[in-house]
Amino acid sequence: MTMPALQFAGTGKDYDGKTVLDDVSLDVNEGTLVALVGHNGAGKTTMMKLLLGLIRPSRGTVSILGYDPAGPDGAEAKKNLGFLPETVAFQQAMTGLEVLNFYGRLKRADLNINPELLARVGLADAARRRVKTYSKGMRQRLGLAQALLGAPRVMLLDEPTTGLDPALRRDFYDSLSALKNDGVTVLLSSHALSELESRIDKVAIMNSGKLMACGTLAELRSRAHVPVRIRLRTRDGQASNIANQLNGAEISRVNGQVIEFVCAPEEKMLLVRRVSELGVAVEDIEIDLPTLDQLYSHYRDDGGPQ
Amino acid sequence: MNTILIIAGQEIRDGFRNRWIVALTMVLAGFALSLTLLGSAPGGTVGASPLLVSVVSLSSLTIFLLPLIGLMLSYDAVVGEVERGTMLLLLSYPVARWQVMAGKFLGHMAILAFATIIGYGLAAAVAGFTGGGAENETWMAFAAMTGSSIVLGGAFLAIGYLISTCVRERATAGGIAIGVWLFFVLIYDMALLGLLVGQGDALAGGAFHALLLANPADAYRLFNLGGFDNVATLSGTVGMMADVKLSAWVLGGAQLAWVIVPLGIAGVLFRKMEI
């Protein structure tokens, strides 16, 4: 068993006597993509700062690639790290290319690929313009480019899609998949839950400094017991007839052609089998699994610590 | 390339980019030239070389100007970058915090040295021409004055970093910097004078010396106005220097200590700082 790429072990953080992070234990294995979700003030940024060694834990430990980020060898770990802060800021008087060259030098990265890196985030035309003239979206893209400098093994992305338009978000999610294929470990925090669902390996749900739940979406769904919504389309006039045969299911809506009902996750297969026995009267079936949004509100509101 | 040099280079580039360096050099050259040209008018009649006069007048200028420049360059070096968010990004890179501090200091020192050497060098050239040359000792005194001016600027750079690491807001740092400048450059000497007049006897030699060394601007003044005999004669500090038995080594050492100690404390505080 290798060491997790990122690890929180009983980590807590207090600011002026106020607990902002409370006993969080979380392992992120190499090559996985983990999303930290939670509203503002849930402790996501605090976790990022702990991983960067910018602040020290009040309790417990933090490690990144086996190093203590706030310890004397913290700089070692940062050679293999890319970070995008929530609100990224650059030296205003420098051009985009100069920014990348400066940070690339600090990371001992190959500077020759920087123009290409800028092109990848759609900033090729702005490479020689001062950052002062950039829009918020352009600064965010420059932030992404700097996080990719030196081919990092771990990336920490704090709200990476803020200020990106839908097309750029899609590009960004595509590049996330590419990173994952290269074996890069990614920890990202986000509000854009629905967009994340298909891309991530694991979700960690935070609320007021506590880790409420962590696991794959499937694990969280089965643990959450959030009801599954099933919608059937039937032949004309058959709907109420069929609805009567589905005793046990909690039917929420019936009209001439459509039946909607919810059931507990473990009853899902049973009901699906029963529906299929009804034969040709049922024309179509749609199953809505709980979305990340629903899971998030479930764990945030009433899910106790795992 | 070394991390410290990369950060220093960045500061210098930034200084050129936002015209800081040009402005500083022009201010220093402007003051130095006007003092030299105006100051040599009375000096010519008593036979002192214009260069010698400019050593005296420029060291008075330095005491006001270089602490101010040093503080202006450094007061927001840490707190300003933290506020803007650039520090967060910088520290996510493989750099140790002491390297950030050392790099900034080196970069700011280079800016300060560049502006001082160019500005005062112009004045020296003009004084040298109009005066038809000067003795070697005078050139030495001028070089020592220029060098110690840079060190004085460095001391206030270091004090500026210390302010910058102690406070949470850039505006607070600016306010404190102005207060520190007023204190060391204006108030301190007046208070010391008042103390001497009022309690002259109680202030034994040792305590008086300590009080002089406890202000980098005073250490600078004594180093330059008393360090060379011809300068002391001209500036009328011969009698004073006979009383103040502090060698150039002690004064120079005090100046350097005023660079090293605040910078060291700022470095320690910065290392512990939570960003």
A97-125 per-position pLDDT tens digit: 999 999 999 999 999 999 999 998 889 99
pLDDT (0 to 100) of residue B203 = 64
pLDDT in tens, B3-56: 999 999 999 999 998 888 999 999 999 988 888 887 655 544 455 677 888 888
Reduce the secondary structure of chain B to three states and give it as a string: CCHHHHHHHHHHHHHHHCCHHHHHHHHHHHHHHHHHHHHHHHHHHHCCCHHHHHHHHHHHHHHHHHHHHHHHHHCCCCHHHHHHCHHHHHCCCCCCHHHHHHHHHHHHHHHHHHHHHHHHHHHHHHHHHHHCCCCHHHHHHHHHHHHHHHHHHHHHHHHHHHHHHHCCCHHHHHHHHHHHHHHHHHHHHHHHHHHHHHHCCCCCHHHHHHHHHCCHHHHHHHHHHHHCHHHHHHHCCHHHHHHCCCCHHHHHHHHHHHHHHHHHHHHHHHHHCCC
Q: A251 with A270, same domain? A: yes
The nearest CA of chain A is from the CA of B181 a distance in Å of 28
Q: A172 with A283, same domain? A: no
Give me the percent of chain A exceeding a pLDDT of 90. 37
Closest Cβ–Cβ partner in B89, B94, B95 for A85 = B89
Q: A74 with A191, same domain? A: yes
B20: left (phi over 0), alpha (psi -120 to 50) or beta: alpha
Q: What is the domain count for chain A?
A: 2
Q: A45 with A174, same domain? A: yes
The verdict on residue A296 lying in a domain is no
CATH number (domain holding residue A169)? 3.40.50.300
pLDDT in tens, A236-278: 777 777 777 776 677 777 777 888 888 887 888 888 888 888 8
The nearest CA of chain B is from the CA of A157 a distance in Å of 12
Confidence of residue A25 (pLDDT cuts 50, 70, 90): very high
**CB of B2 less than 8 A from some CB of A:** no
Scanning every residue of chain B, which has its alpha carbon at the shortest distance from the alpha carbon of A77?
A: B94
pLDDT (0 to 100) of residue A306 = 41
Q: Do B6 and A76 touch (CB under 8 A)?
A: no
ipTM of predicted complex: 0.85
Q: The whole model's pTM is what?
A: 0.86
The verdict on residue A300 lying in a domain is no
**CB of B249 less than 8 A from some CB of A:** no
Q: Do A83 and B92 touch (CB under 8 A)?
A: yes
Q: Do A76 and B84 touch (CB under 8 A)?
A: no
CATH number (domain holding residue A234)? 3.30.70.920
Confidence of residue B200 (pLDDT cuts 50, 70, 90): low
Q: Do A54 and B274 touch (CB under 8 A)?
A: yes
Q: A199 with A240, same domain? A: no
pLDDT in tens, B87-100: 999 999 999 999 99
Q: A163 with A76, same domain? A: yes
Q: A201 with A236, same domain? A: no
pLDDT of B131 > 70? The answer is no
Please name the amino acid found at residue A103. Y
User: Average pLDDT of chain B?
Assistant: 86
Q: A218 with A255, same domain? A: no
The nearest CA of chain B is from the CA of A305 a distance in Å of 28
Show the domain range for A211: 6-80+152-222
The nearest CA of chain A is from the CA of B112 a distance in Å of 20
Scanning every residue of chain A, which has its alpha carbon at the shortest distance from the alpha carbon of B14?
A: A93
Report the relative pairing of strands A154-158 and A185-190 from DSSP bridges.
parallel
Contacts of A53 (CB under 8 A, 6+ apart): A68, A69, A70, A71, A74, A78, B91
- B27-to-B32, B116, B167, B182, B259 alpha-carbon distances in Å: 8, 10, 29, 20, 24
**CB of B207 less than 8 A from some CB of A:** no
Q: Do B94 and A75 touch (CB under 8 A)?
A: yes
